[in-house]
Each structure stands twice: as structure tokens, then as C-alpha cells.
Amino acid sequence: MNDEEVAEFANNPYLDEIIQVRYLDEAGKEADMQTRDYDHFMPMLQRLVDSVR
């Protein structure tokens, strides 16, 4: 990033959320991490799809 891009990024109103997502993204790289299966997330995904129709 150049200086202008760094300044723009630092002033982003969603900076804290962006950083949180980045930490979660890194945590998801743990090879033996236990996660829920797809069926667990289906209701949430369906609500999201229904909300944009």
C-alpha cells in the first residue's frame, strides 16, 4: 500500500470490523480445528437468501 491507501484504510469507519474478520480468517487456517457441519448453518443461510428476494 502506498501512503494514500494506508491513510484511506486507517480512516475506514469499519476498520475494527475489518480487523476482526482478518483475525477470524487467520484462526480458520488451523488444520485440526473442529467446526460445525453445513446443516448447522442452513437456517441462517436460508434467512439470508430469503431477505434478498
Contact predicate 9/1, CB 8 Å? yes
Stated pTM of the model: 0.52
Q: What is the pLDDT of residues 9-36, one digit of tens each?
A: 999 999 999 999 999 999 888 888 888 9
Say what the pLDDT of residue 28 is.
Answer: 84
Contact predicate 21/14, CB 8 Å? no
Give the contacts of 9 (CB within 8 A, at least 6 positions apart).
1, 15
The CA distance from 42 to 28, in Å, is 19
Q: Is pLDDT at 53 greater than 80 in this prediction?
A: no
